[in-house]
Amino acid sequence: LKISNVSQGKKFTTVLRLSQKILKEYDLCDHCLGRLFAKRLGLASNKTLGQKIHKALKKKNTKCHICKNIFDSLQHHLVKILDVSSDYDFKTFLVGAKLKPSILDRDDHIRSQFKLRGIDSIKTSITRELVKQFAQKTKKKHQQLDPDLTLTVDFKTESYDIQSRAIFVSGRYVKNMRNIPQKQKPCSNCLGKGCLACSRHGISEFDSIEGMISRYLFEKFVAVQVKITWIGGEDSTSLVLGSGRPFFAKMTNPKKRSPKLPKKIKADKITLRSLKQISRIPAGPMQFVSKTKLLVTTENSIRQEDLTKLDQLRKSTIAIYENSGKRTEKSIHAICHKINSENSFYLFMRIDGGVPLKRFVAGDNVFPNISDVISNKSKCDTFDFEEIGIVN
C-alpha cells in the first residue's frame, strides 16, 4: 500500500491524527480501523490500511472494541459454508451475515462520536471478506441480484442457512388409468408446511397426480418442496389423453439445477411429457381449450332426435353462475353425440377450459345446459380429456 502523491499524503496525515484520537479511547483491529478511512483514501484493503496506521502510530493490534476480533474467525466460518454448500449446483452466490446487536451498536457509536460518514458498516466489511474468500475457493461468481445460492452466516448462534433459488418447469401429464386424484392431501402432521415427518415436502403420500409429479421432481432436482400450478382439472375417474394436461411446477431449494429431462418420462402411473425448465411461471390465469368425451345418463330413454337438439349449442356461449354471484362465460366450439344405450349417450365437445362439466350436464346454475336442451334430466357419469391446448 503506497501513499505517494502530495494530496494523498495530506489525507493520510489527517487520517493519522484522527486515528490517534480514536485509538486513545478504543482498541481496534486492522480491519475495523482501516475500514473507517479506506474510502476517504480511495483504498480497497481495510486490513492493509489498518496495519499501516497501526505501524505509523506504533500501536499494537489488540482485541478490537468493535468486532471483538471476529475477522480472526472468518476462516472457520468459511470452512463451514463451503461444507454446507458442497452438495449444491450453482454458478452465482450471495453471502449475508447476522451479527450480535452489540457489535452493530459499538460500530454506530464510534462512527457517530467521531463524525465518520460514508463508511461501510461492520456487516458489509465482514460479508465482503467472506465473499472474496468463498469466490476464491469455489471459483463461482458473487451476484447481488437473484443469485443461485444465498448463504447466511449467523455469528450469534454459529449457524448457517442456505437457500437455493427456486427452479420452474413446464410440462404435461398423460393419465391412462382411472381412480387417480389430481391433488395430494397435505401431510397430516404439518398440513403442508413441511416437517420432519414428511421430509419437509409438505406431502407424505404420493398416490395422486400431484404426488407422482412431485416425487419425480424431488428426486431429479433434489428439491425440498414442489408447488404445482394446474391448467384446469379433472375428476379422479377422468382420463387425460393425447399430449396431456399442461402444468407448471416450482421447486423450492433445489440442490441440482440442470438435470437431464427426457422428453417422455414414466412417473409411476402417469406419463410426463415435454418437461423443461422455464424462467418463471406465467402470471394470471391461462386460457385453454379442451377436447372432451362425456358419458351422460338420462332419467328417461333417449332418442336420436332428442340428441339432435344439442347441435344448437355448437359455437354458442354458456353462462356459469357461482353461489358468490360471480358470472363467467365460456364458448362451445364444436359438439357431437352418439347413443350408447337406452338411457345413455356419449357427448363429444371442444370447449373452453374451466367449464364445470357435471354442472353443465345437470343444469346446476349453467345456462344453457344439457338437461334443459334435451328436456330430459341428465347426469355426467364420467368425463375424459382427449386433448388440451393452451390459447396463446
Eight-state DSSP code of residue 140 = P
Q: At residue 237, what are phi and psi to the nearest 5 degrees?
A: -85, -5
Relative to beta strand 92-98, strand 149-154 is: parallel
Catalytic residue among 89, 235, 268, 372: 235
User: From the DSSP assignment, how many helices (H) and strands (E) are in the chain?
Assistant: 11, 15
* Helix (H) or strand (E) segment spanning residue 172: strand 167-175
Task: Scan for cell 419437509, then name that residue.
Answer: 200
**3-state SS, residue 46:** helix
Alpha-carbon distance 32 to 26, whole Å? Answer: 11
CA-based R_g, the chain, Å: 33
3-class SS of residue 150: strand
Q: How far apart are CA 172 and CA 231, in angstroms?
A: 10
Closest CA to 82 of 143, 148, 135, 155: 135
Yes or no: say if 235 and 383 are a contact pair by the CB < 8 Å rule.
yes
User: Using an 8 Å Cβ cutoff, are 238 and 276 in contact?
Assistant: no
CB 129 within 8 A of CB 153: no
Q: Mark whether 364 is an active-site residue.
A: no
Residue with cell 497501526: 54
Give catalytic residue positions: 235
